[in-house]
């Protein structure tokens, strides 16, 4: 997989309270595959992770949300943690960015509580998702089909349930971004 995503830009939309391992591990896998990952946030400077039951590490914000453009990225990653997606779904600019990204048809990957922002953006109807179990009813009420699986890919949406699913989640993102490039070459 190393180098297969050379030249690809991946946006990771996050704010304070993201589940730390859900950012660090997929980011490491994407970077190792040759992608350039950028943390985008409504906050500038640094954001702070959540490490299971306490505050985690600070992570540098690469680009403020107000300067980010959906069309500049090949994929979007939405992280869990309860605080992070709850804050993002209440931020009109974050929701607008997710809506714009969904309209591109490029891969959007959401793990744990990450689908909350997709629900708020109104893009989950008739799509199959997995998530942290407490989002099951939220996703169903928004018109999605919920399943309990390690990773689910439906169209350009990828979802996983929890940190234990990160290896499968990361692999699915790499495959989806790589498949998009192969489709361009084939046409």
Segment 154-177 mean pLDDT: 97
pLDDT of residue 129: 98
* Per-residue pLDDT reduced to its tens digit, 20-76: 999 999 999 999 999 999 999 999 999 999 998 999 999 999 999 999 999 999 999
Q: Answer yes or no: is pLDDT of 184 > 50.
A: no
- Pairwise CA distance, residues 78 & 148, whole Å: 18
- Break the chain into its structural domains and give their ranges: 9-186
Q: Which of 8, 27, 113, 156 is catalytic?
A: 113
- Pairwise CA distance, residues 31 & 47, whole Å: 20
pLDDT of residue 26: 98
Print burial letters for 152-178: b (CB count within 10 Å at least 16), e (below 16).
Answer: bbbebbbbbbbbebbebbbbbbbbbbb
User: Does 156 participate in catalysis according to the annotation?
Assistant: no
- Pairwise CA distance, residues 69 & 67, whole Å: 7
Segment 96-107 mean pLDDT: 97
- Pairwise CA distance, residues 58 & 185, whole Å: 39
Here the tokens at position 116 are 């909350």
Q: Answer yes or no: is pLDDT of 1 > 50.
A: no
pLDDT of residue 52: 85
**Residue keyed to tokens 């990160």:** 166
In the 8-state DSSP scheme, what is residue 49?
Answer: E
Q: CATH code for 9-186?
A: 3.40.50.880
- Are 9 and 74 in contact, with CB atoms under 8 Å apart? yes
Please, where are the H alpha helices in the chain?
20-32, 83-89, 92-104, 115-121, 136-141, 166-186
Other Cβ atoms less than 10 A from the Cβ of 150: the count is 15
Here the tokens at position 81 are 């943690």
**Residue keyed to tokens 């699915």:** 172
Checking DSSP bridges between strand 36-41 and strand 157-160, what pairing results, if any?
unpaired
């Amino acid at each position: 997989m190393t180098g297969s995503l050379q030249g690809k830009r991946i946006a990771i939309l996050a704010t304070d309270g993201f589940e730390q391992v859900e950012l660090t591990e997929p980011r490491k896998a994407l970077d190792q595959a040759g992608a350039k990952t950028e943390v985008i946030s409504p906050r500038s400077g640094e954001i702070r992770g959540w490490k299971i039951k306490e505050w985690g590490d600070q992570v540098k914000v690469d680009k403020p949300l107000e300067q980010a453009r959906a069309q500049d990225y090949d994929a979007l990653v939405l992280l869990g943690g309860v605080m992070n997606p709850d804050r993002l779904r209440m931020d009109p600019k974050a929701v607008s960015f997710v809506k714009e990204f969904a309209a591109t048809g490029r891969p959007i990957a959401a793990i744990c509580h990450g689908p909350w922002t997709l629900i708020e953006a109104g893009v989950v109807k008739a799509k199959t998702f997995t998530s942290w179990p407490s989002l099951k009813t939220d996703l169903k009420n928004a018109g999605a089909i919920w399943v309990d699986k390690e990773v689910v890919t439906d169209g350009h949406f990828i979802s996983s349930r929890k940190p234990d699913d990160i290896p499968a989640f990361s692999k699915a993102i790499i495959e989806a971004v790589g498949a998009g490039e192969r489709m361009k070459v084939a046409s």
